[in-house]
Amino acid sequence: MAAPVLAIVIPCYNDSEALPISVARLTAILDRLIVADRVAEESYLLCVDDGSTDDTWAVISDLHERDTRIKGVALAHNRGQQYALIAGLTAVNGKCDAAVTIDADLQDDPEAIVAMTDLFLAGKEIVYGVRASRASDSWFKRTTARAFYRLQQRLGVDTIYDHADYRLMSSRAIEMLADYGESNLFLRGIIPQLGLDTGVVRYNRQERVAGRSKYSFTRMVSFSIDGITSFSAKPIRMIFLLGLALLCVDIVVAIYVFTSYFADKVIIGWTSLMLSIWFLGSVILMGIGIVGEYVGKIFNEVKHRPRYAIKTTLWD
* Footprint of ligand UDP (CB under 6 A): 11-13, 15, 50, 78, 80-81, 84, 103-105, 107, 213-215
Beta carbons of 232 and 128 less than 8 angstroms apart: no
Q: Which 8-state DSSP code applies to residue 263?
A: T
Closest separation in Å from C-beta 136 to ligand UDP: 10
**Binding of Mg ion at residue 15 (CB under 5 A)?**
no
Q: 27 or 107: whose CB is closer to ligand UDP? A: 107
Question: What HEC string does 217-239 produce?
Answer: HHHHHHHHHHHHHCCCCHHHHHH
3-class secondary-structure state, position 8: strand
| Cα–Cα distance measured from residue 305 to residue 296, given in angstroms and rounded to the nearest whole number | 14
Phi and psi at residue 51, to the nearest 5°: 60, 45
The interface partner of residue 108, options being Mg ion, ligand UDP, none and the CB cut-off 5 to 8 Å by kind, is none
CB count in 10 Å sphere of residue 139: 8
Q: 30 or 47: whose CB is closer to ligand UDP? A: 47
**Binding of Mg ion at residue 50 (CB under 5 A)?**
no
Closest separation in Å from C-beta 78 to ligand UDP: 5
Beta carbons of 122 and 34 less than 8 angstroms apart: no
| Cα–Cα distance measured from residue 224 to residue 180, given in angstroms and rounded to the nearest whole number | 20
The interface partner of residue 125, options being ligand UDP, Mg ion, none and the CB cut-off 5 to 8 Å by kind, is none
**Site map for Mg ion, 104-123, x if CB under 5 A?**
-x-x----------------
Closest separation in Å from C-beta 215 to ligand UDP: 4
Closest separation in Å from C-beta 213 to ligand UDP: 3
Closest separation in Å from C-beta 305 to Mg ion: 28
The interface partner of residue 11, options being ligand UDP, Mg ion, none and the CB cut-off 5 to 8 Å by kind, is ligand UDP
Closest separation in Å from C-beta 18 to ligand UDP: 8
Q: Which 8-state DSSP code applies to residue 193?
A: G
Q: Which 8-state DSSP code applies to residue 307?
A: S
Q: 105 or 165: whose CB is closer to Mg ion? A: 105
The interface partner of residue 104, options being Mg ion, ligand UDP, none and the CB cut-off 5 to 8 Å by kind, is ligand UDP
User: How far apart, in Å, are the Cα atoms of 150 and each of 144, 248, 283?
Assistant: 10, 29, 24
Closest separation in Å from C-beta 140 to ligand UDP: 12
Interface with Mg ion (CB under 5 A), residue total 3
Beta carbons of 143 and 149 less than 8 angstroms apart: no
Contacts to Mg ion from residues 236-255, by CB under 5 A:
none
What is the side-by-side strand order in the sheet with 310-314? 198-204, 126-133, 163-170, 98-101, 6-12, 44-49, 70-75, 310-314
Judged by the rule CB under 5 A, the positions of this chain that interact with Mg ion are 103, 105, 107
